[in-house]
Amino acid sequence: MPHEHDDNNAHTLLPSEPALRVRALETILTRKGLVSAETLTEIIDIYAHKIGPHIGAKIVARAWTDPDFKQALLTNAETVLGEMGLAGRQGEHVQVVENTADIHNMVVCTLCSCYPWPLLGIPPSWYKSDAYRKRAVREPRTVLAEFGMMPHPSQSVRVWDSTAEMRYLVLPMMPAAAAGCDAEALAQWVTRDSMIGTGSPKAPQI
């Protein structure tokens, strides 16, 4: 049906400049009472300022200092995070995967951009890039090298392609230099990329 085909491509009727395209659609939706501008502002505020990698970092730091919590997290993250109120949109079903001396984990979504939003926020641009989506599964070690990561020769690389609504968070290994810190201080070491598997925890900049 040609008409239906046209409907599928109604986006081509919007202005060519992206910012104007967004404004046009927002104008239509707010005027029609389908969307409220205050709601948009609220959503943006939450993802720009409230939900981000600092949440995942606290989980990792607690796992480093509390063996029972770590065990529960690795066995059943969904329940643990649910009880902490961290099983929201795009993180309803989470599995935490642990880096060890034998395994290095890294996460990708080759089909779109699935990512554990309640723990890490909105994914960074590179995670959503075609290059990462194409290359992470085929040549993870080369990709890791670009990020400055060299898995130990004894480590296998396990790439998690988020093809369903399961979301994956990497539990990085605690750096030896961080030993003795409490959970609050340790959380400062945990980088976003270390929880995706493309980085290592880093000493906080003072």
Interface residues for another protein in 2-31 (CB under 8 A)? 4, 6-11, 13-15, 18-19, 21-29, 31
3-class DSSP assignment, residue 93: strand
Subset of 174-193 contacting another protein (CB under 8 A): none
Among 56, 91, 172, 201, binds another protein (CB under 8 A): 91
Give least dist CB 118 to another protein, A: 8
β-strand partners of 49: none
Shortest Å, Cβ 45 to another protein: 9
Instruction: Examine residue 32 and tell whether it contacts another protein (CB under 8 A).
Output: yes
Q: Taking the CB of residue 84, how many other CB atoms lie within 10 A of it?
A: 13
Q: Judged by CB under 8 A, does residue 72 bind another protein?
A: no
The burial of 184, by beta-carbon neighbours within 10 Å (0-12 exposed, 13-18 middle, 19 or more buried), is given as exposed
Q: How many residues touch another protein (CB under 8 A)?
A: 85
Using alpha carbons, list the distances in angstroms from residue 148 to 42, 56, 144, 145: 37, 22, 6, 5
Active site residue 181: no
Please give the positions annotated as active site. Answer: 109, 112-114
